[in-house]
Structure 1
Amino acid sequence: MRWLEVHIDTNHAGLDTVQAMLSGLDVDGVMIEDEEEFQDFLENNHDYWDYVDEDLERHMAGRSRITFYLEAREAGFAKLGEVRVALEGLKQERRDLGTLLMTLEDVEDADWENNWKQYYKPMEIGERLLVIPQWEEADPGDRVPLYLDPGLTFGTGAHATTRLCLTALETLVRGGERVLDLGCGSGILSVAALRLGAGSALAVDIDDKCRTAARENAGLNGIGPDRLDILVGNLLTDRAAAEKIGGGYDLVLANIVADVIIALAPRVRGLLSPGGTFLCSGIIEGRADEAAAALNAAGLEIRERREDNGWYAFTCQ
């Protein structure tokens, strides 16, 4: 099926007005891109990012755009005509909503729904793992297959920080370990640890969507709730979550960002069993020394440093 990808450019103040106009025409399910909201998110969520891709910043510069899709057939073209008429009326009524420029592209289903899958193929990681998207068929050979649906949420194995953790896990998991995965995302690290032979894992994230993602990915690998438990909560701010998490883990994983790792450092020893290991990543090059100092100050010895494309992972005891 072919689709019309329709864009309406406005300004921040006009987003609600244009969206209300579209909703009145039964056009819902829109996508919104807005530089002001993007910058506000960055400003108020420093705990969860260390680096913003320059291409993304350039893409968002000056942008306040609403995008929606219509079927490229009679009903869709008729609806497009209704939108044009309503938009012209809005231009006459309001002069403070930016350009209100409407542009469109003719696209196939695959262009916006499935085409991204061609870029996600089976990936060999380290010496033992083969990450396989669920729609692909691959012979793992001597490697341990790790099946994922990367469309669920972040954490696919493609990012340097995840590769660093997965490579380290190959040497850290010897069999039967009790694992804690903080900031689990898609559950990739928890599931990988279990596939490599860990006994059980608790996956924790502050985002409720990760509960579904981690459970789905565990199911793809034949792992049930008897081996993988999932908790939504914040160890640093939620006392109830901290009590549920407890301690005594052989392996604690945290692929987050430097600020969270620094804040987490004083609590790590309380999470580990005697002789346990803390593996952390998500640390960009400019924050590596700061994060290392915080870990050392918390009484943790960094046994191994790994680096990949300006990102660092530390294995600590």
Structure 2
Amino acid sequence: MKWLELHIDTTHAGLEAVETMLSSLGIDGVVIDDETEFQEFLENNHQYWDYVDEELEKRMEGKSRVTFYLEADEAGFAKLGEVRIALAQLKHSRTDCGTLLMTLENLEDADWENNWKQYYRPMEIGERLLVVPQWETADPKGRIPLILDPGLTFGTGSHATTRLCLTALEQRIHGGERVLDLGCGSGILSIAALRLGAAHAFACDIDDKCLDVAYENAALNGIGPDTYTVRVGDILTNRALQAEIDGGYDVVLANIVADVIIALAPAVRGLLAPGGVFLCSGIIDDRAEEVAGKLRAAGLKLLESRESEGWFAYTCC
């Protein structure tokens, strides 16, 4: 049996978050290498040591790494794709986890680049959309094709949170809408809105990689900068970005995480046009009631609630 040995580089503060993320995907057998714990061990047990192995100390310097193993088969590569997406979401939700660089051994990088792609297939979502990876071809059969290359950003359509948003979105786009996509990732939601008939979409993300990826995905779908604007920045703190975004949107999208949605909630009404809706997702089930309460406290009315695979999405006005 062949195995993949995978490493995720993080920080001491990020170790628990990475372990929790992997556990949520059914990966519990992990190995932790951490300089902080190593130094604490030495300090607390120095009476038992005649010397400290300098080579080992050097290897541990600056290290906070989680190692895990997957079988090198179809299921293993599919799980690896899930980890890749979850890591991208973790980068959005935490700023104290370091690079979150994932590397693997026992497989050439070029092989990984080819292998993970085979587990993204054309996907029917809702009543009108067909998400098609750039490297695939598909007969849309009357659906609207949404061509996507996720690159290194979050948003392929395969994650439950994205599917929930797309399903809600297609019911709210009838033609001519202005759309705001907060935390756009690959641009999948705002590009889908334009493919469904929205007139213009403004998208932003704190990750600068998303700028190129979102514009490239838009181009794959025949969408140009005349109808699609992408910016990098934090809407919660960046005054220039806030001024450029302004308001008057028929649909505001936020497929992020619970804490960011809670922080955004008080500003949502100022972003919406009369009759506009706020579609938010990325809410894990054990925080669903908390987020719903914060949205109501911010003066928003919950119109619809959707749930899939332990994730929730809300439609508010």
2:179, 2:201 within 8 Å by CA — same for their partners in 1?
A: yes
Q: Which has the larger radius of gyration?
A: 1
Task: For residue 119 of structure 1, give the secondary structure of its aligned residue in structure 2.
Answer: coil
What letter corresponds to residue 22 of structure 2 in structure 1? D
In structure 1, C-alpha distance between the alignment counterparts of 2:54 and 2:299, rounded to whole Å:
65
Determine the structure 2 residue equivalent to 1:121. Answer: 121
In structure 2, C-alpha distance between the alignment counterparts of 1:162 and 1:142, rounded to whole Å:
22
- Mapping for residues 176-191 of structure 1, pairs under 5 Å: 176-191=176-191
Task: For residue 52 of structure 1, give the secondary structure of its aligned residue in structure 2.
Answer: helix
In structure 1, C-alpha distance between the alignment counterparts of 2:59 and 2:188, rounded to whole Å:
43
Task: Using the TM superposition, give the Cα deviation of residue 118 of structure 1 relative to its aligned residue in structure 2, in angstroms.
Answer: 1.0
Task: Using the TM superposition, give the Cα deviation of residue 95 of structure 1 relative to its aligned residue in structure 2, in angstroms.
Answer: 4.3
Task: For residue 213 of structure 1, give the secondary structure of its aligned residue in structure 2.
Answer: helix
Task: For residue 259 of structure 1, give the secondary structure of its aligned residue in structure 2.
Answer: helix
Determine the structure 1 residue equivalent to 2:32. Answer: 62
In structure 2, C-alpha distance between the alignment counterparts of 1:278 and 1:106, rounded to whole Å:
45
In structure 1, C-alpha distance between the alignment counterparts of 2:136 and 2:287, rounded to whole Å:
37
Task: For residue 172 of structure 1, give the secondary structure of its aligned residue in structure 2.
Answer: coil
Aligned length: 255
- CA deviations over 1:146-168 (Å, ceiling 9, x no partner): 00002341100000000000001
Determine the structure 2 residue equivalent to 1:53. Answer: 22
Task: For residue 57 of structure 2, give the secondary structure of its aligned residue in structure 1.
Answer: coil
Determine the structure 2 residue equivalent to 1:41. Answer: 14
Please report the RMSD computed on the Cα atoms of aligned residues, expressed in angstroms. Answer: 3.0
What letter corresponds to residue 274 of structure 2 in structure 1? P
1:33, 1:60 within 8 Å by CA — same for their partners in 2?
A: no
- Mapping for residues 121-200 of structure 1, pairs under 5 Å: 121-200=121-200
1:183, 1:254 within 8 Å by CA — same for their partners in 2?
A: yes
1:284, 1:310 within 8 Å by CA — same for their partners in 2?
A: yes
- Mapping for residues 5-24 of structure 1, pairs under 5 Å: none
5+ residue gaps, structure 2: 35-52, 61-103
TM-score by length of 2: 0.73
What letter corresponds to residue 191 of structure 1 in structure 2? I
Matched, 1:258 2:273: no
In structure 1, C-alpha distance between the alignment counterparts of 2:174 and 2:58, rounded to whole Å:
61
In structure 2, C-alpha distance between the alignment counterparts of 1:258 and 1:154, rounded to whole Å:
16
TM-score by length of 1: 0.73
Task: Using the TM superposition, give the Cα deviation of residue 98 of structure 1 relative to its aligned residue in structure 2, in angstroms.
Answer: 5.4
Determine the structure 1 residue equivalent to 2:224. Answer: 224
Give the 3 Å change call, closer, same or farther, for CA 59–199 of structure 1 in structure 2.
Answer: farther
Determine the structure 2 residue equivalent to 1:94. Answer: 55
In structure 2, C-alpha distance between the alignment counterparts of 1:315 and 1:257, rounded to whole Å:
15
Task: Using the TM superposition, give the Cα deviation of residue 240 of structure 1 relative to its aligned residue in structure 2, in angstroms.
Answer: 1.4
What letter corresponds to residue 40 of structure 1 in structure 2? A
What letter corresponds to residue 230 of structure 2 in structure 1? I
In structure 2, C-alpha distance between the alignment counterparts of 1:230 and 1:109, rounded to whole Å:
30
Matched, 1:316 2:316: yes
Identity of aligned residues (%): 64
